[in-house]
């Protein structure tokens, strides 16, 4: 495998047709501001012929040089030759050589090139669910033919419960953030700081391709999501709801409004984001809106055993530090 760094200008002509979020300049700007991570591109060559390419992100983390493909989300390798095959483990070893990094994380899904990137031996612990909208003519047809009867009845329940669909603006970030924090704490996790969301908003301000939708009930925000639109690909970044209002199914109502908006805007794909395979009910919930599931293949590579040991120790230490209350509760308040 002949792997080389390439410049963005070398592939600009191809990027016009690439809708993967990790390839976008907005995502690169966010990665730099939030994590100090710099994007580069790598090309896979056969002789002088470019056969495939992908973005990668380089940063310093806990005294190690880390390369991620991509940063904290997932992406697909773009193949110019649909008969060209890449072995995932060989690619990982060559990337370690190319970048000189201590830690490499590949996080790949394969909706368009399922046979070209070989992932045998990779971990399959996350799934993304994607709604294909390429051949959809109207929301009414989609509601009737693609959304399950159960999900459809809950959409109608929301419509009859006095829900109000709203488009949130940047000034509404504090209200969105409060709902998000309550949602994340209910799940037993730790929320991002509010400036994390401000950095996402700032990264997309020039192209105006970040959106926040919400649902109000009696004037109160009871559900909201934040998503980005890259060409015809919509990626949901965050979703939050008020647990006390779940009996009225505000998420179903919000999803329906988002799908309706997407169809009117000519969106071809709605990506609901990565979900742990252990959360099967969450995956099935999103599939009830007509989504299809795609495995996310993850694999870590290390320069040597010492860096692997340092990485594992750091990860466990910072997990305990970040989730100390959750860990203590599990240890001392188990039934």
Which class is 135-267 in CATH?
A: alpha beta
pLDDT at 101 over 80: yes
Residues of the chain with pLDDT > 70: what percent? 95
Mode of pairing for the β-strands spanning 38-46 and 49-61: antiparallel
| pLDDT in the model for residue 335 | 46
CA distance 117 to 79: 9
Pairing of strands 269-276, 292-302: unpaired
Give per-residue pLDDT as tens, 43-65. Answer: 999 999 999 999 999 999 989 99
Helices 305-322, 324-332: crossing angle, 10 deg rounding: 80
For range 199-223, the mean pLDDT: 97
Beta-strand pair 38-46/64-69: unpaired
What pLDDT is attached to residue 55?
97
Superfamily of domain 2-127+296-332: Gcn5-related N-acetyltransferase (GNAT) (3.40.630.30)
At 323 the pLDDT is 59
What confidence tens digit (pLDDT) does each residue in 179-194 have?
999 999 998 888 999 9
The residue-averaged pLDDT of 218-234 equals: 96
In the prediction, which pLDDT does 316 show? Answer: 86
Q: How confident is the model at residue 160 (pLDDT cuts 50, 70, 90)?
A: very high
Coil, strand or helix at 315: helix
Calculate what percentage of the chain has a pLDDT beyond 90. Answer: 90
Could you give the CA distance from residue 258 to residue 158 in angstroms, rounded to a whole number?
14
Domain boundaries, the chain: 2-127+296-332, 135-267
pLDDT (tens digit, 9 = 90+) per residue, 240-262? 999 999 999 999 999 999 999 99
| In contact, 128 and 293? CB cutoff 8 Å | yes
What mean pLDDT comes out for the span 14-26? Answer: 91
This prediction's pTM: 0.91
| String of DSSP letters for 6-28 | E-HHHHHHHHTT---GGGSHHHH
Position 146 pLDDT exceeds 50: yes
State the average pLDDT over residues 288-292: 97
Per-residue pLDDT at 276 exceeds 90:
yes
Q: Does 2-127+296-332 match 135-267 in CATH topology? A: yes
Which residues neighbour 311 within 8 Å (Cβ) at sequence distance 6 or greater?
A: 64, 102, 103, 300, 302
* Cis status, amide bond into 70, omega within 30 of 0: yes
How far apart (Å, rounded) are the C-alpha atoms in residues 162 and 275?
30
End-to-end Cα, the chain, rounded Å: 53
């Amino acid at each position: 495998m002949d792997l080389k760094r390439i410049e963005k200008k070398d592939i600009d002509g191809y990027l016009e047709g690439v809708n993967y979020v990790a390839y976008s300049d907005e995502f690169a700007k966010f990665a730099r501001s939030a994590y100090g991570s710099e994007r580069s591109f790598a090309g896979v060559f056969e002789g002088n012929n470019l056969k495939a390419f992908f973005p990668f992100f380089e940063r310093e983390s806990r005294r190690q040089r880390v390369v991620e493909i991509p940063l904290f989300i997932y992406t697909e390798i773009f193949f110019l030759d649909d008969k060209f095959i890449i072995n995932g483990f060989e690619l990982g070893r060559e990337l370690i050589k190319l970048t000189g990094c201590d830690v490499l994380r590949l996080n790949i899904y394969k909706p368009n090139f399922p046979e070209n990137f070989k992932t045998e031996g990779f971990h399959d612990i996350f799934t993304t669910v994607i709604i294909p909208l390429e051949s959809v003519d109207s929301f009414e047809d989609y509601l009737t033919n693609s959304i399950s009867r159960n999900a459809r009845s809950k959409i109608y329940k929301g419509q009859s419960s006095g829900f109000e669909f709203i488009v949130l603006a940047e000034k509404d970030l504090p209200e969105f953030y409060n709902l998000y924090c309550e949602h994340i704490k209910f799940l037993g996790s730790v929320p991002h700081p509010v400036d994390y969301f401000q950095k996402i908003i700032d990264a997309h301000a020039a192209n105006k391709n970040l959106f926040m939708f919400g649902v109000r009930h009696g004037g109160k925000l009871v559900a909201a999501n934040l998503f980005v639109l890259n060409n015809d690909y919509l990626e949901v970044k965050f979703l939050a709801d008020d647990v006390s209002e779940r009996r009225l199914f505000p998420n179903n109502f919000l999803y329906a409004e988002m799908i309706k908006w997407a169809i009117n805007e000519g969106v071809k794909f709605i990506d609901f984001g990565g979900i742990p395979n252990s959360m099967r009910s969450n995956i099935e919930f999103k599939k009830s809106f007509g989504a299809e599931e795609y495995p996310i293949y993850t694999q870590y590579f290390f320069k040597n055993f010492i860096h692997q040991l340092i990485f594992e120790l750091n990860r466990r230490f910072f997990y305990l530090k970040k989730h100390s209350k959750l860990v203590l509760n599990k240890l001392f308040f188990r039934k």
